[in-house]
């Protein structure tokens, strides 16, 4: 762990700092030091020769990145401290110039939409496969990618999600082969798949499938600190020098050594113990799914939904639970678990809740969740209900997200915005998938669903109006 070890050596030397940060090893923030520990602040340091420089690494950071590339079956790896958001944006900006097309599913994260704004790329949306019972989008089929390529042979890249938030994947290997036959780069949002390459019991990871770039949230399922991420790439269609230059456009010049060293440690942990640890986690997840499905009214979905197409594989560490059978929305169940049982779920949506089972979990914590769900179904359960699901069909894109972002705008009541072109994005976070994005025509279904979300007292973001009573549209 070259970077982590260098940071430990720095700490052991007890250096007297006259550089930034200004808290000077925590002495300037005694309350914070008392709460999180002095050692944490003593290694919250600035770039220097013994610790290398993230924007132009030549020693310990370079070596740590090379080890990560090897562990993740990539040719190059870039450490990121701006989260996978910056990785997704860098992928799109590295492959698409203004006006050029990128093929992507509409259930992409808002970071991909923002990448379109930054790059000026034109989206060609693919309709992901839909599960109407669960009210969620799944993966995309090889056939839908093939059709999009046939209709847009000038596209520069195909952008794929591997996996979706709920753990489902498409046939990534075949999609990669198809795109490469047409000279298109394959970019993969693998935010929730950092652990894929370390267990045979999980879906295939992007790099081993032959993708050109993938963005990996090591902090989500690999154990590094929140906001730390990896951008992986292979030689061929994309210039690594260009990628580094694009990353440096937006990445801080004051990168956190706490975040970077956590990437180094998490990589080592996965590379040395990942297979054994993940086998245990998969066993716990399987027990939890079986136990939850024995609770009347709850449905923990999994591999039974696989169809070899847009639902090609499934990550069993994603524990998605449909709660409509106990008369609840996912938003309600999410709040009840937090407020009544002191359990924090990853998300709640219109019909489901999601728990992520990761390397930091054990049987005791998962047993607590199963027990809480069993009790919740009895105490708070009602008759099964049909709940409004989000708009799941691709919207009509009128102008590119970039042109919408920079266009002339006016503010109108959301209730009166039907047929207008949206000039901002509206989303619940998580999952951060826009209900309506910049440049899209607003339809009645979008307006109704936003109203439903507001009624669930769920936080909506993306609009200037914090109450989402008004929305910005294009025009004078």
Q: Which pLDDT belongs to residue 455?
A: 83
H or E stretch including 262?
Answer: helix 257-293
H or E element in which residue 78 lies: strand 76-80
Q: Supply 316's token pair.
A: 């069993």
pLDDT band at 92 (very low <50, low <70, confident <90, very high): very high
Token pair in block for residue 176: 């990669």
Q: Helix axis angle, 2-12 relative to 60-71, nearest 10°?
A: 150
The per-residue pLDDT for 106 is 87
Distance, in Å, from the CA atom of 322 to the CA atom of 289, rounded to the nearest integer, reads 12
Phi, psi of 197 (to 5 degrees): -75, 5
Q: Tell me the CATH number for domain 401-474.
A: 3.90.100.10
Confidence label for 384 from pLDDT (cuts 50, 70 and 90):
confident
2-269 has which fold? 3.40.640
Which tokens in the block code for residue 295?
């609770």
What tokens does 77 get? 């790896």
Q: Cα(300)–Cα(169) distance, rounded to whole angstroms?
A: 17
Question: Which class is domain 275-379?
Answer: alpha beta
Tell me the per-residue pLDDT of 105-121, one tens digit each, with 9 for 90 and over: 988 999 999 999 999 99
Return d(Cα 467, Cα 163) in angstroms, integer.
Answer: 32
Domain boundaries, the chain: 2-269, 275-379, 401-474
Distance (Å, rounded) from C-alpha 204 to C-alpha 215?
A: 15
CA separation for the pair 110, 93 (Å, rounded) = 15
pTM of this structure: 0.94
Residue 77 has pLDDT above 80, yes or no: yes
| H/E element, 427 | strand 427-428
Coil, helix or strand at residue 158: strand
Per-residue model confidence as pLDDT tens digits over 415-450 = 999 999 999 999 887 777 889 999 999 999 999 989
412: Cα separation from own chain's centroid: 31
Query: Model confidence at 125, in pLDDT bands (50, 70, 90)?
Result: very high
Could you report the per-residue pLDDT of 127-185, keeping only the tens digit for each? 999 898 898 999 999 999 999 999 999 999 999 999 999 999 999 999 999 999 999 99
Q: In 3D, which of 240, 269, 215 has the Cα closest to residue 57?
A: 240
- Do 92 and 116 touch, CB atoms closer than 8 A? yes
The Cα–Cα gap between 412 and 421 comes to 11
Structure token digits, residue 389: 């699901």
């Amino acid at each position: 762990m070259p970077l982590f070890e260098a940071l430990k050596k720095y700490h052991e030397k007890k250096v007297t700092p006259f550089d930034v940060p200004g808290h000077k090893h925590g002495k300037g923030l005694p309350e914070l030091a008392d709460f999180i520990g002095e050692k944490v602040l003593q290694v919250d340091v600035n770039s220097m020769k013994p610790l290398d420089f993230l924007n132009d690494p030549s020693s310990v950071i370079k070596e740590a990145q090379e080890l990560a590339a090897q562990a993740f079956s990539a040719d190059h790896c870039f450490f990121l401290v701006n989260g996978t958001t910056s990785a997704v944006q860098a992928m799109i900006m590295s492959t698409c110039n203004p006006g050029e097309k990128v093929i992507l599913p509409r259930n992409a994260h808002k970071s991909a939409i923002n990448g379109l704004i930054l790059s000026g790329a034109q989206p060609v949306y693919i309709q992901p496969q839909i599960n109407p019972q669960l009210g969620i989008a799944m993966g995309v089929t090889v056939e839908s990618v093939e059709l999009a390529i046939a209709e847009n042979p000038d596209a520069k890249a195909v952008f794929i999600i591997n996996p979706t938030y709920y753990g489902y994947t498409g046939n990534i290997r075949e999609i990669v082969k198809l795109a490469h036959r047409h000279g298109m780069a394959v970019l993969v949002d693998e935010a929730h798949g950092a652990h894929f390459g370390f267990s045979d019991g999980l879906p295939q990871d992007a790099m081993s499938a032959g993708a050109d770039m993938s963005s990996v949230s090591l902090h989500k399922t690999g154990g590094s600190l929140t906001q730390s991420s990896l951008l992986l790439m292979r030689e061929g269609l994309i210039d690594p020098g260009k990628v580094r230059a694009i990353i440096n456009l937006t990445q801080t010049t004051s990168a956190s050594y706490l975040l970077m060293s956590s990437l180094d440690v998490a990589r080592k942990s996965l590379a040395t113990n990942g297979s054994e640890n993940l086998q245990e986690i998969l066993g716990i997840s399987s027990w939890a799914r079986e136990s939850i499905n024995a609770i009347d009214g709850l449905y923990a979905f999994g591999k039974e939904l696989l169809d070899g197409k847009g639902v090609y594989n499934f990550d069993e560490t994603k524990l998605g639970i449909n709660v409509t059978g106990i008369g609840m929305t996912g938003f309600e169940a999410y709040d009840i678990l937090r407020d009544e049982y002191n359990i924090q779920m990853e998300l709640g949506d219109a019909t489901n809740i999601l728990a992520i089972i990761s390397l930091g979990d054990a049987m005791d914590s998962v047993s607590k969740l199963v027990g809480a769900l069993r009790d919740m179904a009895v105490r708070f359960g009602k008759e099964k209900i049909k709940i409004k699901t989000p708009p799941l069909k691709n919207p009509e894109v009128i102008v590119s997200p970039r042109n919408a972002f920079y266009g002339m705008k006016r503010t109108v009541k959301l209730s009166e915005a039907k047929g207008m072109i949206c000039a901002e994005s509206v989303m619940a976070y998580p999952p951060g998938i826009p209900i309506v994005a910049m440049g899209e025509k607003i339809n009645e279904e979008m307006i109704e669903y936003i109203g439903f979300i507001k009624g669930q007292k769920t936080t909506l973001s993306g609009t200037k109006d914090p109450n989402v009573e008004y929305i910005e549209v294009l025009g004078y």
